[in-house]
Amino acid sequence: MPVTSPSIAIVGATGAVGREFLDILEQRRFPHGELRLLASARSAGSTLPYRGERHSVHELTDRSFEGIDIALFSAGGSISRQFGPVAVRAGAVVVDNSSAFRMDPAVPLVIPEVNPEAMEPFLSGARRPGIIANPNCSTVILLMAATPLHRALGIERMVVSTYQAVSGAGAAAMQELEDLTRDVLAGRPAHARIFSEPCAFNVFSHNSAVNAATGQNVEEEKMVLETRKIWNEPEAGGVRISATCIRVPTMRAHAESVNITLTRLATEANVRRILAAAPGVRVVDDREKNDFPTPLKAAGGDDTLVGRIRPDLSQDVCGEGDDRTYRGFNLFVCADQLRKGAALNAVQIAEMLVH
């Protein structure tokens, strides 16, 4: 692969994540040669803006990857399963946003700030061409905040509740929130099409399938399994995670309430210091002004916002005054899942391949 100016394909370029790819490649002045925009036959012939020009969208076919060095996939799991191997056979490195390959032991699951070492086979050239997976968006956001604490202090348990934006379900779901909000405000009946519940003025359990035996939905399972893989934790005896995933009527940027149990007790000042120094994390935490992370503050940005940093007084407390240490902490985390949870993370991975 040419290291300086790879040719790039975006699979799913017309989607919510696809459009974000274009924004981020442009904003970060990603150095590339040809840019090939791919989507379904429905979008063939349409154009998308990029670097001041309109670029044509082409139908994804078996021949779409000839001459492509890096293929950024965000068109759903079945498209990734069908065309990811096609792209690899054509010589490309695939960075995949779907869940198709995440738990494949041969595929690295990468958040550049968290486990860049997983990229090593690709950086050394040993595994090129090949597939690299982007984690689930809720997992990325959780681990951006939790990993620095885990590395410094050890985390033995996390209880996470998500407040997930509708854009996590794609462009059509964003349209549904707009449409149903108008319907409700106009006094018309609001009929859900994408979700099984009306998303306007409502909060409901995540729309992924629920395991009848465990009661966990697929989003919750992903957070547990992907965290173990990224942190390299054993299935038994490793970090314990309890997740509840909920959809809320925000347009973009997921929020997560995170309760942590540490292996080693820590002062609040130490926890704050660790988070303030973490790459890609911005502490937004002003108790006096009640200024904390919100989806609106995170939307359109690259940072993972962390606030409401406070000891969990229901867990062990030791010592007095400034030296008081705590076993448990609570955090409230927000990040734009279309960016850090998807397109930005994938572009950061692509940047590692180029630099």
Which residues of this chain interact with ligand NAP, rule CB under 6 A? Answer: 12-18, 39-40, 42-43, 60, 74-77, 79, 97-98, 137, 167-168, 170-172, 337-338, 341-342
- In angstroms, the CA 169 to CA 342 distance is 12
Task: Give whichever of 285 and 336 is closer to ligand NAP, judged by the CB atom.
Answer: 336
Q: Least distance to ligand NAP from the beta carbon of 1, Å?
A: 24
In the numeric block, the tokens 């949870």 are attached to 341
In the numeric block, the tokens 């809320």 are attached to 248
In the numeric block, the tokens 């697929």 are attached to 218
Q: Least distance to ligand NAP from the beta carbon of 6, Å?
A: 21
Q: Least distance to ligand NAP from the beta carbon of 106, Å?
A: 20
Task: Give whichever of 134 and 147 is closer to ligand NAP, judged by the CB atom.
Answer: 134
Task: Give whichever of 167 and 217 is closer to ligand NAP, judged by the CB atom.
Answer: 167
Q: Least distance to ligand NAP from the beta carbon of 38, Å?
A: 6
Task: Give whichever of 60 and 239 is closer to ligand NAP, judged by the CB atom.
Answer: 60
Task: Give whichever of 15 and 311 is closer to ligand NAP, judged by the CB atom.
Answer: 15
Task: Give whichever of 79 and 177 is closer to ligand NAP, judged by the CB atom.
Answer: 79
**DSSP codes joined into one string, 199-259:** -TT--EE-SSPBPTTT--BHHHHHHHHHHHHHHT--TTTS-EEEEE-EE-S-SS-EEEEEE
Q: Least distance to ligand NAP from the beta carbon of 254, Å?
A: 8
Question: Which positions are annotated as active-site residues?
Answer: 137, 254
Distance from the Cα of residue 130 to its chain's centroid: 21
Q: Least distance to ligand NAP from the beta carbon of 14, Å?
A: 4
- In angstroms, the CA 304 to CA 146 distance is 11
Buried-state track 311-345, b at ≥16 Cβ within 10 A, e below 16: bbeebeeeeeeeeebbbbbbbbbbbbbbbbbbbbb
Q: Which residue is nearest to ligand NAP (CB)?
A: 15
- In angstroms, the CA 192 to CA 291 distance is 34
- In angstroms, the CA 181 to CA 173 distance is 12
- In angstroms, the CA 102 to CA 83 distance is 16
Q: Residue type at 32?
A: H
| Bond preceding residue 6 cis, omega within 30 of 0 | no
The CA dihedral of 119, 242, 342, 116, to the nearest 10 degrees, is -20
